[in-house]
Amino acid sequence: MSIAFENKAGPKAQQAVAVRVEGQRSVFFRCAFLGYQDTLYANRGVQFYRNCEIYGTIDFIFGMGTTLIQNSKILVRKPIQGQQNIVVADGSSNKFMHTGIVLQNCSIIPDIELYPYRYTVKTYLARPWKAFSRAIFINNYFDDFIQREGYMIWSINETNTANSYFAEFGNVGPGANATSRVKWAKGVINKDEVVRFTAEITKDEAVRFTAEPWLNASTWLPFTSVPYNKGL
């Protein structure tokens, strides 16, 4: 609780992790994570973050854990010239993994250095690091610098868009209009069939990614004394 993790390598250092989390049922409360590219490596296990501040530029919340970030500030920083910002890069590599990154009741905003450049530096919500990448955004505030398409491909040679699941529910703010999101933003995986819709999902779908079903929260989170929202 109330710890700051910082990697001071700077934006020119490329991948520079501030903290790597491997533990099962990890909890961070009122913590700060400061870096640029790859700040928070939520690598494995069930992870919960509450009332935190996370700073970064490229893929700065990433990993292969079952991750829920609630009531936190996501502060996007100014990268080096020619780079773009991506908040989330999930590493789910197959459809049977109960993994992904969920942001709920958070604010995604530019930090003070990016603010004057927020319209010229492109900022995306997520991109698919692996084939079954999952990023879900529930009841967040998106500031006006989020690109209308919302998401970008991983690379020209490996787009990872066929089975990715990028979805939004109940978000507000000038960057929250999901009508122009990329066509591959959301896929519902049913055996070997993928059905694509818009980025917006229904309330019933959104509930699947809240604390109780996503983290099985009632079996362990109350014992930490950290506050959390059970549902929407």
Buried b (16+ CB within 10 A) or exposed e, 24-42: ebbbbbebbbbbbbbbbbb
Task: Decide: 4 and 25 in contact? Cβ < 8 Å.
Answer: no
Element (H, E) at 26: strand 26-29
- Name the catalytic one among 38, 59, 90, 143: 59
Catalytic residue status for 59: yes
Q: Residue 98 CB: number of other CB atoms within 10 A?
A: 10
Distance CA 164, CA 91 (A): 10
The residues assigned a catalytic role are 59
